[in-house]
Amino acid sequence: MIRTFSRLVLSALFVSLSAAAFAAGWTYTDGSGQTVTLDAPPARIIASQDAAAGLIPLGIRPVGIYADSPVADAKALQGLDLTGITIIGEAWGEIDIEKAAALEPDLIIAEYWPVSQEWSGGNKLTGPDSPFSTLAPITGVTVGDSIIAVVEEYEELAQSLGADLAKPEIAAEKARFETSREAFSAAVADKPDLTAMAVFAGNDALYVATPVGSSELSDFRAWGLDIIVPDAVDQHGYFENISWENADKYQPDLLMLDNRTSTQLQIAQAQPTWTLMKAAAAGAVTEWPAYWLRNYGAYAGALDKLTAAIQATDADLSE
């Protein structure tokens, strides 16, 4: 009888411990359809620059970050405290694999881009056959039709990693964003005939962005801004490439210039045909926060700049 009771106690204890171990596990299903399951919530995370920008404001600090450019130039990382975080890459698709391995990551958090069907850094870096992908599972947020959806997915991911979303500073940033969004919507409503166009100025061509695949441009359109949609997007799915000789194919009232690099306006103004666009000739040019917004604080700041530009723009310029 005593032995039977002891066996029952041990069995109950085993079941309890097994349940606790199971409960301590971590599972995440990403937009590519892949499910990652770990024995415990990951503590040592390597993040892409955009994933870091989504997670750090929520209290999740990676041990390593790989960026698409020198960190000092990475728009997504500006204003974030990177103290104690190892930078393992500062060019698109390139990392120091030895540095990455030394960090002993439990998880690599990147972003899935459904238009190009690849993870942050490109398939060479984050594809299934890359050395990087052998260090830890790769998963993360899907870049979709809205920055709001992206931020909310980061909130869910961060909470699963142990973040406390009830912190007052998180609520304050969201409230600041809501105020900025209301001001933006009001400015657009005041100028219903205004048209805008998002572009990247290359030395070889003018690249006109489609809102499809650009979460922030999709948001702006949803909030009322009339953004020109190019009619001949290239095979990559993000831009129409227009030779500088034909820079005036479209005539917006406001030009939004990709602000991921500081030389965009300089490159554009060096082209003799830049001012064939009436907006360029009139100086109706503002910044486009291209593809990098990942938290409410950064979004609020970008919206404030765009709102001011809309308020200052002549809505009849393109006529």
Q: What is the pLDDT of residues 138-158, one digit of tens each?
A: 999 999 999 999 999 999 999
Helix (H) or strand (E) holding 108: strand 107-113
Rounded to an integer, what is the distance from CA 291 to the centroid of its chain?
Answer: 6
What single letter denotes the amino acid at residue 171? A
C-alpha span between 79 and 59 (Å, rounded): 14
C-alpha span between 219 and 214 (Å, rounded): 9
Where are the alpha helices (H) located in the chain, listed in sequence order?
Answer: 2-23, 49-55, 97-102, 123-126, 147-160, 168-190, 215-222, 264-269, 278-282, 296-312
- Residue 279, CA distances (Å) to 56, 219, 246, 249, 283 in order: 37, 22, 15, 13, 6
Q: What's the token pair of residue 304?
A: 């404030």
Residue 1 has pLDDT above 50, yes or no: no
Q: Of 216, 200, 225, whose CA–CA distance to 300 is shortest?
A: 216
C-alpha span between 100 and 131 (Å, rounded): 10
C-alpha span between 280 and 299 (Å, rounded): 25
What's the mean pLDDT when you consider all of the chain? 92
Q: What is the pLDDT of residue 86?
A: 98
Q: What is the pLDDT of residue 32?
A: 84
**What residue ranges define each of the domains in the chain, with the CATH number in brackets?**
25-164 (3.40.50.1980), 169-312 (3.40.50.1980)
Residue 301 has pLDDT above 70, yes or no: yes
The pTM of the full predicted model, rounded to 2 decimals, is 0.89
Residue 212 has pLDDT above 50, yes or no: yes
Q: Residues of the chain with pLDDT > 70: what percent?
A: 92
Residue 3 has pLDDT above 60, yes or no: no
Residue 13 has pLDDT above 80, yes or no: no
Q: What is the pLDDT of residue 23?
A: 52
Q: Of 253, 231, 256, 252, whose CA–CA distance to 242 is shortest?
A: 231
Angle CA 66–68–74, to nearest 5? 95
Length of the chain: 319
